[in-house]
């Protein structure tokens, strides 16, 4: 008779609860479909995009991306008017994480389906911003901004808090691979290297400033998170790590530039990611399991021909 270690059991149970909070109530079914559906994938095992998106640093990077993206008034108007980020923040997070999972690890057919679903949703997100300008979520210029902020954030979080930071060459490959998905969504002039990513971010700088909606979003995400009290201290560490990774001008725009965050935010972010990684397991271990499954699938398909 095997006696299960109670610490391991608790770790597994809590880690699974964290996973379902991020992936949504259908997370287990989606995970099975992502990894068990046969067919070619967009990105091969071991590729930089798989390494980055498998790591728990995406939690930090995702929060940083939301804060950075909010600084474009038209992008923020679309979010405030259509996404329900206050009414259903966890639903929005689950949809985003599901999209990343399918496009990074899933079969090509499912990845294409997810891209089309997002494009269809963007067709409905149109309106007028508080400053009188019209916005359209399908606008290639806005799509490129959303992608740039996301790619820069995931990469920054991985390089600062990841298990195995990418080499400069691998970081360039990550930018190029994430750009492939962005182009399928309709983005244009997508960066393919870290240098191009930095240049693109600077090019958007004149368009960026904190609107009332952006400040409200930052307040909601950082000071009023929809979490039980027991979960707020570890979330505060994660949030501090995300804010510390923002460019200084972005922290200033969002009224988040505090010496405490600059001084202790990186340590807080490292503690948060170490804790989540302990609960959910090593990204390398998870990725190797997926890669082994993919290799077995490929061998079976080859043998059947």
User: What are phi and psi for residue 63, nearest 5 degrees?
Assistant: -65, -40
pLDDT at 219: 92
Taking the C-alpha atoms of residue 260 and residue 255, their distance in angstroms, rounded to an integer, is 13
pLDDT at 12: 59
Mean pLDDT across the stretch 248-255? 97
pLDDT at 136: 95
Name the band, by pLDDT with cuts 50, 70 and 90, for residue 281. Answer: confident
With pLDDT > 90 as the criterion, what percentage of the chain qualifies?
A: 65
Taking the C-alpha atoms of residue 151 and residue 61, their distance in angstroms, rounded to an integer, is 9
Taking the C-alpha atoms of residue 112 and residue 181, their distance in angstroms, rounded to an integer, is 10
Q: Which of 51-55, 113-117, 215-219, 280-284 has the lowest mean pLDDT?
A: 280-284
pLDDT at 55: 93
Average pLDDT, rounded, for the chain: 85
**Residue bearing tokens 């409905």:** 124
pTM for this model (two decimals)? 0.86
First to last CA, the chain: 43
Mean pLDDT across the stretch 51-65? 93
Name the band, by pLDDT with cuts 50, 70 and 90, for residue 10. Answer: low
pLDDT at 175: 98
pLDDT at 207: 97
What angle in degrees, to the nearest 10, is found between the helix axes of 57-69 and 73-82?
110
136 touches 125 (CB < 8 A): yes
pLDDT at 34: 85
61-82: b or e for each residue (b if 16 or more CB lie within 10 Å)? bbbbbbbbbbbbbbbbbbbbbb
pLDDT at 300: 44
Mean pLDDT across the stretch 288-299? 46
Mean pLDDT across the stretch 279-283? 69
Token pair for residue 214? 């952006």
- What is the DSSP annotation of 228-265? -GGGHHHHHHHHHHHHHHS-HHHHHHTT---HHHHHHH
Note the pLDDT tens digit of each residue in 136-145.
999 999 999 9
As to burial, measured by CB atoms within 10 angstroms (0-12 exposed, 13-18 middle, 19+ buried), residue 35 is: middle
Name the band, by pLDDT with cuts 50, 70 and 90, for residue 293. Answer: very low
3-state secondary structure of 127: strand
User: Which of 47-51, 56-60, 232-236, 258-262 is the most confident on average?
Assistant: 47-51
Note the pLDDT tens digit of each residue in 151-190.
999 999 999 999 999 999 999 999 999 999 999 999 999 9
**Residue bearing tokens 């990774």:** 245
pLDDT at 129: 94
Q: Which residue has the higher pLDDT, 183 or 4?
A: 183
Note the pLDDT tens digit of each residue in 207-248.
999 999 999 999 988 988 877 787 788 889 999 999 999 999
Q: Which residue has the higher pLDDT, 1 or 94?
A: 94
Q: Which residue has the higher pLDDT, 28 or 34?
A: 34
């Amino acid at each position: 008779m095997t006696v299960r270690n109670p610490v391991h059991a608790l770790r597994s149970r809590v880690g699974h609860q964290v996973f379902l909070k991020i992936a949504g109530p259908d997370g287990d079914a989606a995970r099975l479909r992502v990894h068990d559906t046969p067919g070619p994938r967009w990105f091969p095992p071991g590729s930089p995009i798989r390494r980055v998106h498998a790591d728990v640093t995406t939690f930090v990077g995702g929060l940083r991306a939301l804060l950075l993206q909010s600084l474009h008034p038209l992008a923020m108007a679309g979010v405030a008017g259509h996404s329900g980020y206050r009414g259903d923040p966890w639903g929005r997070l689950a949809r985003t994480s599901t999209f990343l999972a399918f496009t990074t690890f899933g079969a090509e057919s499912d990845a294409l389906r997810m891209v089309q679903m997002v494009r269809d949703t963007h067709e409905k997100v149109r309106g007028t911003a508080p400053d009188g300008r019209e916005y359209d979520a399908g606008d290639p210029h806005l799509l490129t901004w959303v992608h740039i902020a996301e790619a820069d954030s995931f990469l920054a979080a991985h390089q600062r808090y990841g298990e195995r930071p990418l080499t400069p060459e691998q970081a360039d490959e990550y930018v190029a691979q994430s750009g492939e998905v962005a182009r399928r969504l309709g983005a244009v002039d997508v960066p393919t290297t870290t240098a191009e990513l930095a240049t693109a971010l600077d090019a958007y700088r004149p368009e960026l400033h904190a609107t009332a909606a952006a400040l409200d979003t930052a307040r909601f995400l950082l000071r009023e998170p929809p979490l039980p009290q027991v979960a707020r201290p570890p979330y505060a560490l994660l949030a501090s790590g995300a804010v510390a990774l923002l460019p200084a001008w972005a922290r200033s725009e969002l009224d988040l530039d505090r010496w405490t965050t600059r001084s202790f935010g990186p340590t807080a972010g490292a503690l948060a990611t170490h804790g989540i990684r302990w609960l959910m397991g090593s990204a390398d271990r998870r990725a190797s399991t997926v890669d082994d499954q993919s290799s077995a699938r490929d061998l079976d398909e080859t043998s059947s021909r």
